């Protein structure tokens, strides 16, 4: 399609994976909108399709391939742009998948994706993939619109130095790199101007923010810098490694209304032998101590935990250690993932791969525990009046939203209150969370 990009008027973007990908896709959409293109849903016919892929699991790679086929089926003559982590680590698989010409844009070149998509002629596949290993700066992307959301993702960091044995991300995203504070503040100001009332600070390894800057700084200093702007917004932190949750950060969270009492902390396994095989840098006992310190300092704190089930060598005793640890901890919810054998990682070659049926059974047990934890946490907040960021509901006058403690609430209120923070009394549990009542005086 040599000249189609010059005539392109409709573009569709779809995104798999993490909040960092969501931020980057929003930057693409901002660029296309500024160029005058019409944004359409991915299921519709478009002149340009952009697929922002994920490679964290084998299933994510399969989903990426499905989306490529889906785009070509919707419009065989469209210009196809494939980016993200799967494009970075599996470019040959993608090229072999289709005969149709396509553009592969690696993670280091995402700032040029709109330009590539709208350029004339075919893509130079090598030019836009690059080698992330030597990259020392975050790909510069700015978002001028985050359509369809009441909260925005504020990307402050990229890459990871941890090299956990199950994870492809250090190879697909490169080493840890931080966004300069001035650029973070510039993006935050843009989000405030768009009317967002909540920002989620996000990165691939958020807790390493600032360590590579000159002079060095840390995540706490960045949060304090954002809070000092006195914007009318709430802030949340995305995933933090357990050993990176400092007493100073907890104290700031406890005493600052704008910093939401909500942490997401990856555990991955509650078995020490498995943690060592994963190259995780803590023991189950240390993890438990950190959780205890968190809830002691921050009243009502919401704590989400990532768990990876069926890592090679995980026997019944190891799984039971994980289950028993989580069962006894004051955590609020679990994100449970079956281990997925990812080519290119150390764990893919380890002996003792766990059978699929066994993984499914263990996942089911932990997801049942997740439901028990969620309902217990929600119940602990019943009767309270919470501050809820209201979002449009599914019809009528019912709005939805999350409290400071990340409790999902549905409540009757005028549609005009969407995207405002309102006081809601939490009344009773429902299948989807909590039903509440708008407090008079909002």
Tokens representing 156 are: 């402050």
Residues 429, 382 contacting (CB under 8 angstroms): yes
Q: Which residue has the tokens 């209304």?
A: 257
Residues 312, 347 contacting (CB under 8 angstroms): yes
Q: DSSP string covering 214-247, please?
A: SS---HHHHHHHHHTT--S-EEEE----GGG--H
Q: What is the DSSP letter of 83?
A: E
Residues 413, 437 contacting (CB under 8 angstroms): no
| 3-state DSSP assignment of residue 381 | coil
Residues 352, 310 contacting (CB under 8 angstroms): no
Sheet with 262-268, strands from edge to edge, namely 262-268, 302-309, 333-338
Q: What angle do CA 177, 127, 133 make, to 5 degrees?
A: 30
Give the pLDDT band of residue 127 (cuts 50, 70, 90). very low
pLDDT at residue 62 is higher than 50: yes
Helix and strand numbers, DSSP H then E, in the chain: 14, 18
pLDDT at residue 439 is higher than 80: yes
d(CA 327, CA 349): 31
pLDDT at res. 4: 41
Strand partners, 337: 308
pLDDT tens string 241-273: 999 999 999 999 999 999 999 999 999 999 999
346 to 17, 84, 164, 289, 341: CA distances (angstroms): 22, 22, 8, 29, 10
Tokens representing 74 are: 């919707």
d(CA 25, CA 31): 10
Residues 408, 390 contacting (CB under 8 angstroms): no
Burial of 350 (0-12, 13-18, 19+ CB in 10 A): middle
Q: Which residue has the higher pLDDT, 125 or 229?
A: 229
pLDDT at residue 66 is higher than 80: yes
Tell me the helix, strand and coil percentages in the chain, rounded to 5: 40, 20, 40
pLDDT tens string 183-201: 999 999 999 999 999 999 9
pLDDT tens string 71-118: 888 888 888 899 988 888 887 788 777 777 788 888 888 888 898 888
pLDDT tens string 28-61: 999 999 999 999 998 888 999 999 999 887 788 8
pLDDT at res. 148: 60
Tell me the average pLDDT of the chain.
89
pLDDT at res. 133: 52
pLDDT at res. 299: 87
């Amino acid at each position: 399609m040599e000249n189609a990009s010059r005539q392109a008027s409709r573009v569709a973007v779809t995104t798999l994976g993490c909040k960092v990908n969501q931020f980057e896709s929003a930057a693409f959409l901002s660029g296309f909108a500024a160029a005058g293109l019409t944004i359409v849903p991915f299921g519709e016919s478009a002149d340009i399709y952009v697929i922002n892929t994920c490679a964290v699991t084998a299933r994510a790679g399969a989903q990426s391939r499905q989306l490529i086929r889906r785009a070509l089926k919707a419009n065989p003559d469209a210009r196809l742009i494939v980016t993200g982590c799967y494009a970075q680590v599996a470019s040959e698989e993608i090229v072999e998948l289709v005969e149709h010409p396509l553009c592969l844009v690696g993670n280091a070149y995402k700032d040029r994706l709109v330009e590539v998509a709208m350029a004339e002629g075919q893509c130079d596949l090598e030019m836009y993939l690059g080698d992330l290993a030597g990259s020392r700066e975050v790909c510069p992307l700015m978002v001028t619109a985050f359509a369809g959301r009441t909260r925005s993702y504020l990307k402050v960091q990229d890459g990871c130095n941890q090299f956990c044995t199950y994870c492809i991300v250090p190879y697909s995203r490169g080493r840890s790199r931080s966004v300069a504070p001035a650029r973070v503040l510039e993006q935050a100001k843009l989000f405030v101007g768009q009317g967002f009332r909540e920002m989620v600070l996000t990165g691939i390894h958020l807790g390493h923010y600032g360590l590579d800057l000159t002079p060095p700084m840390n995540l706490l200093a960045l949060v304090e810098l954002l809070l000092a702007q006195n914007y009318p917004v709430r802030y949340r932190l995305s995933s933090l490694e357990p050993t990176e949750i400092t007493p100073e950060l907890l104290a700031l969270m406890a005493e600052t209304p704008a910093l939401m009492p909500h942490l997401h902390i990856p555990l991955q396994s509650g078995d020490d032998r498995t943690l060592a095989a994963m190259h995780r840098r803590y023991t189950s006992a240390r993890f438990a101590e950190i959780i205890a310190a968190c809830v002691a300092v921050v009243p009502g704190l919401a704590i989400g935990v990532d768990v990876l089930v069926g890592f090679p060598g995980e026997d019944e005793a190891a799984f039971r250690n994980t289950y028993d640890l989580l069962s006894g901890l004051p955590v609020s919810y679990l994100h449970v993932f079956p281990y997925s054998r990812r080519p290119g990682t150390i764990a893919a070659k380890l002996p003792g791969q766990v059978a699929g049926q066994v993984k499914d059974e263990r996942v089911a047990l932990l997801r049942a525990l997740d439901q028990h934890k969620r309902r217990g946490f929600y119940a602990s907040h019943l009767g309270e009046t919470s501050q809820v960021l209201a979002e449009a509901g599914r019809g009528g006058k019912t709005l939805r939203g999350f409290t400071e403690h990340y409790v999902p609430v549905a409540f009757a209120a005028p549609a005009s209150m969407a995207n405002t923070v309102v006081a809601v009394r939490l009344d009773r549990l429902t299948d989807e969370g909590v039903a509440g009542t708008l407090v008079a005086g909002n």
